[in-house]
Structure 1
């Protein structure tokens, strides 16, 4: 019986793993469609490129740094030198438990997607070579430590110490509201400030393909059931509650964003709808095992509404977060991580009560400390990495490349082949003419 249950758990996490893998192309399409056509391919390359660099470094020392025994028992970083190359993961568990290689692979996806999310903040203007170097340095110096803080738990049987947020602070973050979403959102903000605004900001190119955005967002929605559901660790009651909460929160987020958008802009847009879904998915990520479906609805609708309000902040404050990583990921992470302290219920799998159900105020305090620590560390280190790379190799494309679009000068490709044929022969119009973005978004005051 126990072996059958272990096999079922492994099968579920394998299925979740494959769903999360789809989030990589989903994010690439979601981001790419929101850009003008001249840099659409560059964004796809940034998503996949950042993920690729992360995968290589993960094999070298990622699992030990994130999930391993904390260096000096301080809870700051796992010992990265305990399993270089992951050779130990080839050994089969004699008890038939969850394969260690699968656990490592699942957490690799978290790391790679966190890096990829950052790319949305610097679209249209960052050197591809600098992005790849930045990705490698950032995942080692920022993601690995922060993920250790949040995801590594003490193991008394093995005699290992985990991260300080998960253990000493005892803050709650089910699947990465702080380590993944706040972390990437803060990093995108810091990198965007270091890089500077796009030329012509705030008059920026319109999304060139909204159906592509919705397709990418739909793939992300699908993958999120693996992201959250797989974090339950098996085919169990927790997984069932988590996927239900994930779905209802996403739909509430769609409505929350559209309500605010309708009031503010007098329109309910397709881009707003899918953005609300993603913002709510971010919000429910830290809370999925701690709240009831009603709590999930509240987190979803608030995440969507706050995200819609936050989109305009970049125009008021002057930072150029190209694809609203701050509004969706940073603020979604803040909303979800904060609201846990109010709407968590002991009836949910995690068994913890928030303030609305008789829990103590210390719950909220712990959540705030965790968020503040991630914000401060991620922003400071990201900004320093960006400034150092700018001094060493330069991180921004030249003016001509930025105005022309990055796809052709850097990648030698265009997203669409625009040659047309008539009865008299090929059109004389050049493809690069079609590649010019003539429509721009003019932000409302």
Structure 2
């Protein structure tokens, strides 16, 4: 019996020894196979981005608008999720990731999700189904961001048409050029999680729409957030979801994903501190809305660089994002007199541009061999690639958004009537006030029955 126990003990020790001699990934799935760890993480990341959109972004914007347009603002975010999801299944995904046509847009390989199945996608170890649904939640929140620039005055019919056309005409070509193997990918532009594809396009589109539709008639009534508590809950939910947004772009679980999550967090924290300091110095009063907005600016800024830079670089990128966005909101906006309602351009557009440029400065192949070295690591050419990506994103978005809104205006007015706008869209269109206090006073004032 003792001899048998001794033999079993030797076999057990030998097995442990052999296990530790093997590489840590010896039993991992090989390329072309499904890895359960990667699959689980991307499912979680997809859910995080969905939660980031609704309720996160919806409450973030809903808390910032006046009491008269809360439901309308929430509706814009929610409806964009519904419509864009269907558009993406029918044709949007194929135009982004189908066989390249001239490097500008994808073909019709995946129309109606034809050919999208449970098998591993390319060299990844996650199902093609899962990669496709992750892209759905990315494009849906991108469209929702645009609504913040024109909140309280865009016609709901016009918004529905916009959510169909914009991801088709603007987002799909941009996603293909950067992530689908198109021209910018071939050039070498780096965009880990959507600096150019998501944030620059949404911010610039919001600016174009705000200028074309015009400023709010009730601007004086819209200066302060109606509910800072809702706003902060939305901001915190956005931060929470951003771990999935950026971390999911690693398309696997592992060391790089962990770095991305860490970079995301510290960049948001650094930018929040930066905004607090600036506001305290300039305005003499640090505010919760300002500090949380600064944190969001940092999260935007790190998005394109998250998987290509070190943690100290992420701190710098986030911290600088605060003054970039603060200047845009409180100086550039005032000088140029455009009415970007909730500062989509000031936060997403400008921080996205800074983040894309910063990627060209701080990227390092030592961090991610799949990327490239930036200016500070001996490769100034990478900055040119990043600037090219920024330029393409801006031009495509300006032209595409302008054309889309002009076409929509041929079929339906872009904005609501003066009376509807002054009453607020919650009552005048949805007949669904978020609260009952101010709504009753408005009804009495305008004698709406």
TM-score by length of structure 2 reads 0.88
The answer on 1:68 being equivalent to 2:87 is: no
Show the counterpart of 1:135. Answer: 163
Other-structure match for 2:314: 296
Matches within 5 A, 1:37-436: 37-71=67-101, 74-79=102-107, 81-93=108-120, 97-152=125-180, 162-167=181-186, 169-201=187-219, 204-312=222-330, 313-350=332-369, 352-357=372-377, 359-418=378-437, 431-433=439-441
Report the Cα distance in structure 2 between the residues aligned to 1:216 and 1:376, rounded to whole angstroms.
Answer: 31
Deviation (angstroms), 1:203: 6.3
Please tell me whether the aligned partners of residues 170 and 366 of structure 1 are also in contact (alpha carbons under 8 angstroms).
yes
The answer to whether structure 1 residue 6 and structure 2 residue 35 are counterparts is yes
Aligned counterparts of 1:68 and 1:283: Cα–Cα separation in 2: 29
Deviation at 1:273, TM superposition (A): 1.0
Whole-angstrom distance in 1 between the partners of 2:144 and 2:260: 24
How far apart are the structure 1 equivalents of 2:221 and 2:277?
Answer: 25
Mapped to 1, the partners of 2:322 and 2:442 lie a distance apart of 35
Q: What is the CA distance between 1:51 and its match in structure 2?
A: 1.9
Given that residues 218 and 422 in structure 2 are in contact (C-alpha distance below 8 angstroms), is that contact kept between their aligned partners in structure 1? no
Check 1:127–1:348 CA distance in 2 against 1; reply closer, same or farther (3 A cut). Answer: same
Q: Which sits farther off after the overlay, 305-314 or 366-375?
A: 305-314
Question: Cα distance, 1:309 vs. partner?
Answer: 1.3
Contact 1:202 1:315 in 2 (8 A): no
Alpha-carbon distance between aligned partners in 2 of 1:399 and 1:237, rounded to the nearest angstrom: 55
Separation of aligned partners in 2, 1:47 and 1:93: 32
* SS state at 1:174 partner: coil
Q: CA deviation at 1:2?
A: 2.7
Q: CA–CA distance in 2 between the matches of 1:165 and 1:202?
A: 43
Give the Cα separation in 1 of the matches to 2:228 and 2:334: 22
> Is contact 1:224–1:281 with CA below 8 Å preserved after alignment?
yes
- CA deviation after TM superposition for structure 1 residue 202, in Å: 6.2
Aligned to 1:27: 57
Contact 1:355 1:361 in 2 (8 A): yes
How far apart are the structure 1 equivalents of 2:189 and 2:143? 23
Contact 1:259 / 1:305 at 8 angstroms: preserved in 2? no
8 Å Cα contact 1:20/1:226 also seen in 2: yes
Report the alpha carbon displacement of residue 346 of structure 1 after superposing the two structures with TM.
Answer: 2.8
In structure 1, distance between residues paired with 2:265 and 2:442: 39
Deviates more, 1:302-311 or 1:393-402: 302-311
Secondary structure of the corresponding residue to residue 49 of structure 2: helix
When Rg is computed on C-alpha atoms for both structures, the one with the higher figure is 2
Is the CA contact 1:260–1:309 (under 8 Å) kept in the aligned structure 2? no
1:27-51: per-residue Cα shift (whole Å, max 9, x none)?
0000010000000110000011122
Match of 1:17?
Answer: 46
Give the Cα separation in 2 of the matches to 1:50 and 1:431.
26
Q: Distance in 1 between matches of 2:266 and 2:351?
A: 15
Contact 2:166–2:404 (CA under 8 A) maintained in structure 1? yes
**Whole-angstrom CA distance in 2 between matches of 1:96 and 1:383:** 37
CA contact (8 A) 1:194 1:387 kept: no
Normalising to structure 1: TM-score of the pair? 0.89
Kindly state the Cα deviation for residue 397 of structure 1 after the two structures are TM-superposed: 0.3
Compared CA separation, residues 87 and 377, structure 1 to 2 (3 A): closer
Q: Is the 8 A contact 1:177 1:337 kept in 2?
A: yes
Q: Secondary structure at the match of 2:410?
A: helix
Could you tell me which runs of 5 or more consecutive residues in structure 2 were left unpaired when the two chains were aligned: 1-26
In 1, Cα distance between equivalents of 2:220 and 2:442: 23
Q: Which runs of 5+ in 1 are unaligned?
A: 153-161, 419-429, 438-445
CA distance in 2, matches of 1:49, 1:260: 36
* Cα shift readout 1:385-430 (whole Å, capped 9, x = no counterpart): 1122223211100000000111011111111244xxxxxxxxxxx8
How far the C-alpha of 1:83 sits from its partner, in A, is 2.4
* Cα distance change, pair 139–416 in 1 and its aligned pair in 2 (3 A): same
| Contact kept? 2:146, 2:206, Cα under 8 Å | yes
